[in-house]
A = this chain, B = another copy of it.
Amino acid sequence: MQNFTYQVGTRILFGKGQIEQLGKEILKYGRKVLLVYGGGSIKRSGIYEQVVKILSENGIEYVELSGIQPNPRVSSVRKGIELCRQHGVDFILPVGGGSTIDCAKIIAAGVMYEGDPWDFFTRKARIKGALPVGTVVTLAAAGSEMNGNAVISNEDTLEKMGTGSMHLIPKFSILDPVYTFTVPAEQTAAGIADIMSHIFEQYFSLTPGTFIQDRMAEAMLKTCIYYAPQVIANPEDYEARANIMWTGSLALNGLIGEGKQEDWATHAMEHELSAIYDITHGLGLAILTPYWMDYVLSEETAPKFGEYARNVWEIEGELDDMKLARAGIEKTAAFFRSLGLASTLKEVGVEEDRLEEMAVRVTVRGAIGGFKKLEKEDVLKIYQKAYRG
């Protein structure tokens, strides 16, 4: 196990009706809120109405920034920063999924920075402070509600990049599983694939002696696998929604990654896809993951895949690690297919003649991946396999 620092102070308010705490929680930090959200879904579901009612009842003023898209754009961030400065906002309240929350986080940091917020992603500037952020989560996927990470797309340069800072960790997050009842099946499935991919990026590692992290990662994977079919079949299954929602938060708050070298190659490869094609992040991950697994499987990595097959998929018998590994990878691919997710890049409209360009971009700062280093040629081969199936 490697040395690590772990600190996540987010106050999690989990369960049905926890929105009632919203006013009290905001008032610990501010009185003038930037309310950040996406499209009409929170209006259709009635969450928007609940939130603004609570703000009014508590004498909290608010300005709205709506229209945040999946793969949120730096232009939205800039607009948000402007609104904050103009109205003297002192608290940022995203209501939505990871895209909305990520956008809100960078607005919060951008308000305290003179330059352009894209500088945080090009590493031209470091985040040195941020307005307090509190979240109301409506989609189980990103885990952004309990960490200091944010991923933003730049529509001018077609880049999608991530950054992170202690200052971006939300002060509180309200997780009401009921709010995810209305998430459509495909988005629910993509969200689960996103959660599982976060776990994979931390689980597949060559760092020895991380038994507790790995058993917890397997616990989270098993939760996703157990509840995914239930939640697709019955979108209003509170128990299934609750387990998936809490797992989504725990999967990316450091619990299973601290103390280990992590991978993140699949995420890097997916970011290029969604930067150009604007496809759903979780869907892109679901497509790429089995091909990545297959490509990085080697004598060196087989024992870890064997552990995965035995402990997560409960594949038994007298198989060697290589055979177990292949069986586990096949299970993974079949599982994503069973959720109705596409399994090739071709199906989702990616063009074969742009794979090379994406492979170049992913590796522009050097090889990616901690479990297995991937150079441009490796990435290209994975893209090609994922394209053709």
Interface residues of A (CB under 8 A from B): 1-18, 208-212, 215-216, 218-220, 222-223, 226-227, 238-239, 242-243, 246-247, 250, 255, 258-259
Contact = CB atoms under 8 A, between A and B. Distances in A.
A18 B1 contact: no
A232 to B, nearest CB: 16
When all copies of this chain in the complex are counted, the total is: 2
A14 B7 contact: no
A32 to B, nearest CB: 24
Contacts of A220: 212, 215-216
Contacts of A12: 4-7
B14 A3 contact: yes
Contacts of A247: 212
Contacts of A210: 243
Which of A13, A18, A212, A215 has the largest number of chain B CB atoms within 10 A?
A: A212
Contacts of A9: 7-9
A4 to B, nearest CB: 5
* Closest 6 pairs (CB-CB, A-B): A3-B15, A9-B9, A215-B219, A209-B239, A7-B11, A6-B12
A255 B250 CA distance: 9
B211 A243 contact: yes
A17 B7 CA distance: 18
Given A3-B14, A8-B9, 12 more contacts: A1-B15, A1-B239, A3-B15, A3-B16, A4-B12, A7-B11, A7-B12, A211-B223, A211-B243, A212-B219, A216-B216, A216-B219
